Amino acid sequence: MCGIAGELRFEQKPTDANWSFLSDLMSRRGPDDSGLWDEDDSCTLAFRRLSILDLSPKGHQPMVHASGRYVLAFNGEIYNFRQLRKDLQAHGETFDSTGDAEVLLKALIRWDVAALDRLNGIFAIAFYNVADKSLLLARDHAGIKPLYILNDRRGIVFGSQFNQILNHPWSRSHELNKESVSLYLRYSYIPAPFAMISGSHMLEPGTWTRVSAGRNAVESGRYWQFPFPNDPTLTGADAVDAVDEAISNAVRRQLVSDVPVGAFLSGGIDSPLIVAKMIEAGQSAITTYTISTGDPSSDESADAKQYAAELGVEQIIEKITPERALEYLPQVIEASSEPFGDYSIFPTMLVSQLASREFKVMLSGDGGDELFWGYPERSVNPIQFAADFRKPYAIRRFRSLARQAIGRGKAPSLHQRSIGDWYALRHTCLKHGWFDQVFPQAATTVSSFDGYHYTGSDPDETAQWLRLNEFQYHLTMVLLKVDRASMHFSQEVRVPLLDKEVIATAAKVDWRSCLSLNNSIGKQPLRQCLARHVKHQTRAKRGFEAPMPDWLRGPLRGQFEDMVMTRKDFFGQVIDRKALRILFDKHLSGEENHARGLWPLLSLALWEEKHLKRR
């Protein structure tokens, strides 16, 4: 796990970029080694290494092929590299190293972009062909590793971190992207392929792009996508058995490492299942890490402790106070080189730093919620009322109001024009219509984002679309958070539940075998898999969250007043300061809680001070 960056020059002349500085920006991603490869007329590749496979100098990058024709800078891990090495050896290839980088280099030389679909791992790749001056950039299937690209008339710049794009001299001629600002203000992060300045984008998961300096030509493609729509073939016990086997295989694959591997352990379902599978794979002396808060409403350490006892693993529990968590504010902003407004990054950084004292590699349970309908509060309602969207809007609205009048509760999705519109509102961080009041022009700014465009009314198709949406968008935010928090402390986090085999198996499972509409419990296959290993199991979602509502009423109030309330706009997105004043006052009084909408505004202002004004 490392960091990569570089540029391809169309004008075949040296750049004035300071590549030593741009490489240093990602030093936390790879403190063990650094490399810089430069071809004066066309290409520069920079690399920072976190040594995990083949700890010797033979794993150094950028890695140059013996012929001198090909160069690779690669961030991540290829879990099936040993099988790929055997496949390549069958074609006559020989290897000097024991790691995955040389395997990937020779796989790309032999199979070109067709090699990407053979990979099972997490990665961002830069592969340069010296002879034809072409650069291939690619990203893993689930988007676990980020890769940003800036397209400029003089060439392209890419990097694992967005501040590398911001600090490259070519970025100075590019304005801030108003669409991206609007997306951030609404959803508290910027989804791929958007990025913060014009001409830049985040490469989408499962895609590649090739740029040729000599011809100034670009070609792109997709080598993997989430199966949708899909005809489910697995239900009941068959689904549980298939999921169980896929997760076992994934964990076994992802234990490949030349350094020790630990695990995060919460009081939920996913992480204890991963730990159980580590034991099943023969891993001994497993160390797990858990955060405790002492607050019954958020502390799941007691459940995690019970899991650890049943599984027989070592558990390190650290108690964190809100005051201590707030001390991480400067590091949160530093790690977020692109604007990021999900304040669950605070506890993620806490547990990452805790585990980084002993481990470079950790396994986590991320991805289970998105694959197996683990957010019932967002999915039950649209599925239950999907068929009603075949009726005219007026009839749907009347039915919703009638249900409310007779005390059966309302179906809020029926107030919207489509299920997609309703789901977009569920993910909007400023709730209850406040977004349109505070940012009156932002609603009409984004014309090219169609992430929530869904007009279907079939319950089965709707259930599949909900999972697809969670996988493509909410999961993206989760993975960005984990990558930024963990790499800030030079730590690789692996996610077995997002292994290609697990995803392929999950796509075959019928939603009815995952989600109970009656009692609003999801992830049924994962729960039943876990029950094969432990007796204890929790239903409630908890976990330590930063007490942002209180912070905004207390220690962060002054910063919010100074840095947000005094603004007329956010990078061209006009603020209705009267509406924002009313909203903030309602929060300060405790009448309403708007922390999830207010923190992204302060985070954006802090990002501007840290990353934009200082570039």
- Domain containing 173 — which CATH number? 3.60.20.10
Integer Cα distance of 189 and 199 in angstroms: 18
pLDDT of residue 442: 84
Question: Same domain for 62 and 158?
Answer: yes
pLDDT of residue 615: 75
Integer Cα distance of 75 and 144 in angstroms: 11
Integer Cα distance of 411 and 403 in angstroms: 8
Print the domain residue range for 299. 236-372+463-531
The answer to the question of residue 208 being in a domain is yes
Low-confidence residues of the chain: pLDDT under 70: 1, 216, 407-414, 443-445, 540-544
Question: Same domain for 153 and 248?
Answer: no
Place of tokens 């899991």: 307
The answer to the question of residue 73 being in a domain is yes
Question: Same domain for 240 and 345?
Answer: yes
The answer to the question of residue 252 being in a domain is yes
CB 51 within 8 A of CB 188: no
pLDDT of residue 294: 73
Question: Same domain for 359 and 280?
Answer: yes
The answer to the question of residue 90 being in a domain is yes
pLDDT of residue 432: 82
The answer to the question of residue 423 being in a domain is no
pLDDT of residue 526: 98
Question: Same domain for 34 and 6?
Answer: yes
Question: Same domain for 485 and 515?
Answer: yes
pLDDT of residue 1: 63
Integer Cα distance of 296 and 377 in angstroms: 22
Integer Cα distance of 263 and 166 in angstroms: 34
Question: Same domain for 362 and 507?
Answer: yes
| CATH number of the domain that residue 340 is part of | 3.40.50.620
Query: Which among 471, 503, 531 is the end of a domain?
Result: 531
Place of tokens 């600002």: 181
Question: Same domain for 13 and 139?
Answer: yes
Question: Same domain for 300 and 346?
Answer: yes
What is the pTM for the complete model shown?
0.95
DSSP code at position 385: T
pLDDT of residue 235: 97
Query: Which residues is 219 bridged to in the sheet?
Result: 210
Question: Same domain for 361 and 332?
Answer: yes
The sheet that has 261-264: what strands, in order across it?
Answer: 314-319, 287-292, 261-264, 361-363, 492-494
The answer to the question of residue 392 being in a domain is no
Q: How many domains does the chain have?
A: 2
The answer to the question of residue 417 being in a domain is no
Query: Which among 486, 510, 531 is the end of a domain?
Result: 531
Residues 6+ apart with CB under 8 A from 547: 322, 325
Question: Same domain for 199 and 270?
Answer: no
CB 41 within 8 A of CB 12: yes
CB atoms near residue 65 (< 10 Å) = 15
Query: Which residues is 363 bridged to in the sheet?
Result: 263, 494
pLDDT of residue 399: 74
pLDDT tens figures, 368-419:
999 999 999 999 999 998 998 998 888 877 777 777 777 665 555 667 889 9
The answer to the question of residue 591 being in a domain is no
The C-alpha angle with vertex 130 and arms to 128 and 135, in degrees rounded to 5, equals 30
Peptide bond into 229 cis (omega under 30): yes
pLDDT of residue 409: 57
Question: Same domain for 135 and 175?
Answer: yes
Query: Which among 531, 557, 580 is the end of a domain?
Result: 531
